[in-house]
């Protein structure tokens, strides 16, 4: 039995109007399950990893439907707890041409927002666990969820488990009176792997990363500027052995440019830029990136360049898949990655 990867966070039901209709129009909805840490779990399972997803679900038919959905991708659910009255929802308006996407959340009093410390037996959950992944979204929804996240990270740290953090800042979720920086930084400082966008890295460190303004794949990434940034960030996050920034420039709803950088072992690694001019669904692209990185890190170890190349290829492929989950296999990601290395 391979050692486990454990992820923890909220899964929700995503409601979308068909045919890129606006939230305020139409009569039909399409429902899909998704959520950052669940997205990571599904991606890892698609790569063949032994992964357990931990959350709190209502003990009703919606909770059962959610369990059925993630189990069909071979994600472990043995440590999911039940309680609360409802699953969180979000209503998603897809972007189109010059119109940006829009989200309306309906997650108040959901099962995860009413979670408390002690509801999950983390010591039991972490049996034979190699890596634990958390994200800032869970800490945003309530004090109880933030406490449960910190409780998990502290237990993982005590047991010597590698801890992965996706900063994952959503400003419109922080409504319980706490500042995102003040809550997230102390937990991130216990993490060995830290991932985020440039804006999220700025939130955590208070330092602005270099700009990424690519309009073509030959855009020059300023490696020296990123290296200088990470050397400063290392003083704020001294435990972080791997620091990763996902880079995206959105030219239109359907035209994105993607890249990424990793700072590891005192060295910066850069990779190519993907020019994606037919984006089908950008939701979960960052989750696909960090999931692929975690898989590559466990498989390739400190081959940081290969890990970065694999992560970016997986992230690029996610843009071609509808829904929150990245349903790409390891072989499909390697095919894309290697096709541009030869």
C-beta atoms surrounding 81 within 10 Å: 16
Residue 69 has pLDDT above 50, yes or no: yes
> For the segment 234-266, what is each residue's pLDDT rounded down to a tens digit?
999 999 999 999 999 999 989 999 999 999 989
Confidence of residue 98 (pLDDT cuts 50, 70, 90): confident
Number of domains in the chain: 1
Residue 341 has pLDDT above 60, yes or no: no
Query: Average pLDDT, stretch 305-317?
Result: 98
Cα separation, 334 vs 342, in Å, equals 12
Whether pTM > 0.85 for this model: the answer is yes
Token pair 């509808």 is found at: 322
The closest of 14, 101, 23, 102 to 279, measured between CA atoms, is 101
pLDDT at 2 over 70: no
Given a contact cutoff of 8 angstroms between Cβ atoms, the answer to whether 22 and 49 are in contact is: no
Which residues sit opposite 103 in a β-bridge?
A: 92
CB atoms within 10 A of CB 334: 16
Q: Give me the mean pLDDT over the 126-147 stretch.
A: 96
Mapped onto helix, strand or coil, the DSSP state of residue 65 is helix
Q: Can you tell me which residue has the tokens 């794949």? A: 217
CATH number of the domain to which 199 belongs: 3.40.1190.20
> What are residue 102's phi and psi, to 5 degrees?
-145, 145
By the 8 A CB rule, do 167 and 194 touch? yes
H or E element, residue 141: helix 136-141
Length of the chain: 342
Tell me what percent of the residues of the chain surpass a pLDDT of 90: 92
* pLDDT average, residue stretch 183-193: 98
Which residues form the domain of 226? 4-339
Find all residues with CB under 8 Å of 209, minimum gap 6, and list them: 198, 201, 202, 226, 229, 245
What's the confidence (pLDDT) of residue 342?
43
Nearest Cα residue to 132 out of 116, 151, 146, 114: 151
* DSSP-assigned states of every residue in 88-117: -EEEEE--BTTBPPEEEEE-TT-TTTT--T
Query: What mean pLDDT, rounded, does the chain reach?
Result: 95
Q: State the pLDDT confidence band at 200, using cuts at 50, 70 and 90.
A: very high
The mean per-residue pLDDT over the stretch 58-74 comes to 97
- pLDDT mean over 127-149: 96
> What would the mean pLDDT of 71-83 be, rounded to a whole number?
97
Per the CB < 8 A criterion, the answer to whether 243 and 268 are in contact is: no
Q: Which one has a higher pLDDT value, 67 or 97?
A: 67
The pLDDT tens digits of the residues spanning 152-175 come to 999 999 999 999 999 999 998 999
């Amino acid at each position: 039995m391979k050692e486990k990867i454990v992820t923890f966070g909220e899964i929700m039901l995503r409601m979308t109007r068909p045919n890129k209709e606006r939230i305020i129009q139409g009569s039909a909805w399409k429902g899909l399950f998704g959520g950052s840490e669940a997205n990571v779990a599904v991606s890892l399972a698609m790569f063949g990893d032994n992964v357990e997803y931990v959350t709190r679900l209502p003990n009703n038919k919606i909770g059962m439907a959610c369990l059925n959905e993630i189990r069909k991708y071979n994600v472990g659910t043995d440590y999911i707890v039940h309680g609360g009255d409802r699953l969180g929802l979000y209503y998603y308006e897809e972007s189109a041409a010059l119109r940006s996407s829009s989200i309306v959340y309906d997650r108040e009093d959901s099962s995860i927002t009413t979670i408390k410390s002690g509801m999950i037996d983390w010591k039991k959950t972490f049996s034979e666990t190699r890596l634990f992944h958390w994200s800032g979204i869970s800490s945003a929804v309530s004090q109880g969820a933030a406490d449960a996240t910190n409780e998990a990270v502290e237990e993982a740290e005590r047991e010597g488990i590698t801890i992965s953090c996706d900063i994952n800042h959503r400003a419109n979720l922080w409504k319980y009176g706490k500042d995102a920086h003040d809550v997230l930084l102390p937990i991130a400082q216990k993490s060995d792997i830290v991932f985020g966008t440039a804006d999220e890295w700025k939130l955590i460190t208070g330092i602005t990363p270099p700009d990424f303004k690519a309009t073509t794949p030959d855009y020059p990434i300023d490696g020296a500027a990123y290296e200088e940034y990470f050397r400063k960030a290392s003083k704020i996050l001294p435990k972080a052995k791997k620091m990763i920034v996902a880079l995206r420039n959105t030219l239109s709803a359907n035209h994105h440019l993607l890249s990424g950088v990793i700072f590891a072992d005192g060295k910066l690694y850069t990779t190519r830029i993907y020019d994606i001019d037919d984006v089908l669904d950008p939701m979960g692209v960052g989750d696909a990136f960090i999931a692929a990185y975690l898989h590559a890190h466990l498989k390739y170890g400190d081959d940081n360049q290969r890990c970065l190349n694999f992560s970016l290829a997986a992230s690029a492929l996610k843009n071609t898949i509808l829904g929150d989950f990245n349903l790409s296999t390891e072989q499909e990601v390697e095919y894309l990655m290697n096709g541009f290395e030869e």
